[in-house]
Amino acid sequence: MKGTVKLVGAGCGRGLISIMGVKAIEGAQSLVYDDLIDDELLGYAPSDCKKIYVGKRYAKHSKTQEEINRILIDEAKAGRRVVRLKGGDSFVFGRGGEEYLALEAEGINCRLIPGISSSIAVPESLGIPVTHRKMAQSFTVITGHTATDMKEDYSALAKMRGTLVFLMGLNSLSEITSELIRCGKPAKIPASIVCRGFSGRERRIDGTLGTIAEEAVRQRAETPGILVVGEVAGFHMESKGDEKLSGKRVCITGTMSFMSRLKTALEEEGAFVESVETLSLEKKAENIPNDFSEYDWIIFTSANGIDIFFDELKVRDIDIRKISHMKFACIGRGTEEKLRRQGIIADFVPEKYTARTLGKEIARKLDKRERLLILRAEKGSVELTEELENAGVSFDDIKIYDTKFVPGKKGDDERIGDCHYIVFASAQGIKSFLSGHEIPENSQVVCIGDITAKELRTHVDRKFLSAGEHSVKGILEIICEAEKL
């Protein structure tokens, strides 16, 4: 039985993929993708999805177009649900039409999911509208380089009154500008190059049609770049807001769960976030007891523990009312919020979000006859159990997950090398990161918790920031505070 193929435009930046596109990735059995997508989109694919990289950039090809067509055909003929994930929109210089026709020739059904094109979105993100009333009533999108011998009709382009948008044009910039001027386009008309859109390193270089090629060299324009020619290039309609971290690049490390929460908080303040997974979770849910009748309290020291516990209750078909007699304690605000999402309000959260403080304060709160069930990581802090033992508290310390080092990926160092901040949330995360990377020399290091800070001091001989509140909110606050200095 033949499978199907979905040609999905991923958009040209983070968050710009459609809901339909995300759903397609979530249902994919085979994911064929290129360079110009947000790497985090791969995380939407099922764990058993086959991922095939076929990246292409100017003068550098991982696979030829014919090879990509063959891969799509073979994967579909193997009966798989195939998603072809392409940057921007598949039909705007994405060669999506060639892939569609190749699939059609083989009798393979193909569904199309459009994407946001960089031809509109990147100029807009840097303050250039491609159309504007009484100034530009049309815009034309042209490829700056082509794999064929077809030549652009610069005479026709020069006569157009609307905006000209050249994609992938940096390597042909001198030719494009000189030909337009030769064919009658005024040399003084505004022109801009918008580089590396939606990367956190985006940049705009302004000039005129007659000067922009020189400006590109002088200011070291970087690919991918877009040339915009027209009166609208004189506008500066950049986004304005009160985000405290606008223009800042922040590298975050840790588990996917932690990074997801922190990434959301940082992006709300305008930061561009690079995520480096350093730890993965290995569930040990089988250690969770079936009978909770002998316990009076459940202690959670992480959001991960909460997810694993309640997921396991569902797997075992255990009625939630089996734990209705119990009270709940959480180590900090993030864990408390995660518990709240399960419909349960924590009965106790310590004033200071550390294992030692949790142990001390809850020991004073307990009736001596009460028994605790601690559900946490294999390498959880001994400070919690030391405090409980010293106070004579009865408890079971159950390890329901472990963390494993995640090896560094090719390209990580390039992504994070110019980040303004790098964040570590655990001692294990630091060890894992340093096993495959170096901390960028110019990045301000931020950590959470005393144990993390202690581990960091053994590796870093420079000042770093330590969050006063051991939570995502604490990390956000200390970075925002540093930006005020």
Residue 323 makes CB contacts below 8 A (sequence gap 6+) with: 292, 298
Buried/exposed code over 134-172 (b: 16+ C-beta within 10 A; e: otherwise): eebeebbbbbbbeeeeeebebeebbeeebbbbbbbbbeb
Q: How far apart are CA 252 and CA 446, in angstroms?
A: 9
From the candidates 86, 89, 168, 248, which is the catalytic residue?
A: 168
Q: How far apart are CA 478 and CA 455, in angstroms?
A: 19
2 assigned to active site: no
Closest CA to 394 of 360, 428, 374, 371: 371
Q: Note the Cα 83 to chain centre separation in Å.
A: 20
Q: Note the Cα 158 to chain centre separation in Å.
A: 40
From the candidates 6, 34, 259, 360, which is the catalytic residue?
A: 34
From the candidates 56, 86, 263, 338, which is the catalytic residue?
A: 56
Decide if 226 contacts 165 (C-beta within 8 A).
yes
Residue 9: C-alpha distances to residues 50, 65, 94 (Å): 19, 17, 9
Give the Cα-Cα-Cα angle 108, 109, 112 (nearest 5 degrees). 130
Residue 127 makes CB contacts below 8 A (sequence gap 6+) with: 204, 235, 236, 237, 238
User: Which H or E run contains 218?
Assistant: helix 212-218
Q: How far apart are CA 279 and CA 428, in angstroms?
A: 8
56 assigned to active site: yes
Cis peptide before 114 (omega within 30 of 0): no
168 assigned to active site: yes
Decide if 287 contacts 399 (C-beta within 8 A).
yes
Query: Side by side, which strands form the sheet with 371-377?
Result: 279-283, 394-405, 371-377, 297-300, 327-330
Q: Hey, which residues are catalytic here?
A: 34, 56, 168
